[in-house]
C-alpha cells in the first residue's frame, strides 16, 4: 500500500482543520477523557459539572488507514510533527474553535475548544495525569460541552470516544511500498507504526 504524507499550505485558505467531530471510532486510535461526574477519580482538579473532554486531535507519524474509492488501492496517510504544529496554530488563527460536528454529519452548537497544546514531554504532560499516553508532538485539546443533551446522550453513554478532524490537506506520495527501507526518520517511524497495526490486525 502507498504511504502518503499530508501537508498544509498556510497561505491557502482552503487548507487546514475547519472543525472537530465527536466520533465513535477515531482514526488516530486515541480516545478522549471525559472530565465529568461519571469519572470522579479524574476530577481531583476539575469540578464535576464542567463537562469537559480532553483528547488528541493529531499524532505525528501515526499511520492512518484510508480506504481507496472507485477502484483505487487502500493507502496510509500521516502527518509530520511540523504539520501537526502548524495545523493546531491555524485552527485558532482562523477562529474555528467553536466548529464541531457529530460523526462528521450533524453540526453541534455549544462546543468550544478552550485549551490547546503540543506535547513537549510525554512523561510530564498534563494528559499523562488523566491516563492518556501520547508521543511528543501530539496536538491535544480540551473541549467544553455546554449542551447537556450531547453530554448525557453521547459522552456519558459511551457513544463517542474521540476527536476526528475535518479539513483539507495537500498530499505527497512518500512510498509506494511500505515494505521498502527508508533512511528518513519520519518515514521510518510511520512504517514501524504501520507494521504494528498490521501485526495487531492479523492477530485479531
Mean pLDDT of 108-131: 92
For 114-140, b/e burial (b = at least 16 CB within 10 A) is: eebebbeeeeebebeebebebeebbbb
pLDDT at 60: 93
What is the pLDDT confidence band of residue 188, given thresholds at 50, 70 and 90? Answer: low
Query: Which domain range does residue 81 map to?
Result: 2-203
pLDDT at 30 over 70: no
Indicate the pTM of the whole model.
0.76
Mean pLDDT of 133-162: 89
Split into its structural domains, the chain has a count of 1
The label of the residue with cell 468550544 reads 112
d(CA 39, CA 124): 22
What is the pLDDT confidence band of residue 181, given thresholds at 50, 70 and 90? Answer: very low
pLDDT at 34 over 60: no
Mean pLDDT of 88-103: 92
- 113 backbone φψ class: left, alpha, beta (φ>0; ψ -120 to 50): beta
> What is the three-class DSSP state of 179?
coil
Mean pLDDT of 174-196: 55
d(CA 17, CA 62): 17
User: Mean pLDDT over all residues of the chain?
Assistant: 77
Bigger pLDDT: 192 or 139? 139
CB atoms within 10 A of CB 13: 10
Amino acid at each position: 500500500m502507498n504511504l502518503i504524507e499530508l501537508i498544509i499550505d498556510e497561505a491557502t485558505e482552503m487548507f487546514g482543520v475547519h472543525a472537530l467531530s465527536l466520533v465513535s471510532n477515531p482514526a488516530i486510535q486515541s480516545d478522549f477523557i471525559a472530565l465529568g461526574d461519571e469519572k470522579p477519580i479524574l476530577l481531583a482538579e476539575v469540578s464535576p459539572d464542567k463537562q469537559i473532554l480532553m483528547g488528541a486531535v493529531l499524532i505525528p507519524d501515526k499511520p492512518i488507514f484510508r480506504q481507496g474509492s472507485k477502484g483505487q488501492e487502500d493507502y496510509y496517510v500521516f502527518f509530520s510533527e511540523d504539520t501537526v504544529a502548524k495545523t493546531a496554530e491555524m485552527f485558532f488563527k482562523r477562529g474555528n474553535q467553536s466548529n464541531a460536528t457529530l460523526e462528521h454529519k450533524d453540526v453541534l452548537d455549544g462546543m468550544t475548544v478552550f485549551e490547546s497544546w503540543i506535547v513537549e514531554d510525554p512523561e510530564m504532560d498534563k494528559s499523562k495525569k488523566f491516563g492518556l499516553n501520547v508521543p511528543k508532538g501530539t496536538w491535544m485539546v480540551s473541549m467544553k460541552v455546554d449542551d447537556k443533551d450531547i453530554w448525557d446522550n453521547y459522552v456519558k453513554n459511551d457513544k463517542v470516544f474521540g476527536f476526528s478532524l475535518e479539513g483539507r490537506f495537500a498530499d505527497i506520495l512518500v512510498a509506494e511500498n511500505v515494505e521498502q527501507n527508508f533512511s528518513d526518520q519520519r518515514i521510518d517511524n510511520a512504517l514501524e507504526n504501520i507494521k504494528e497495526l498490521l501485526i495487531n490486525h492479523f492477530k485479531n
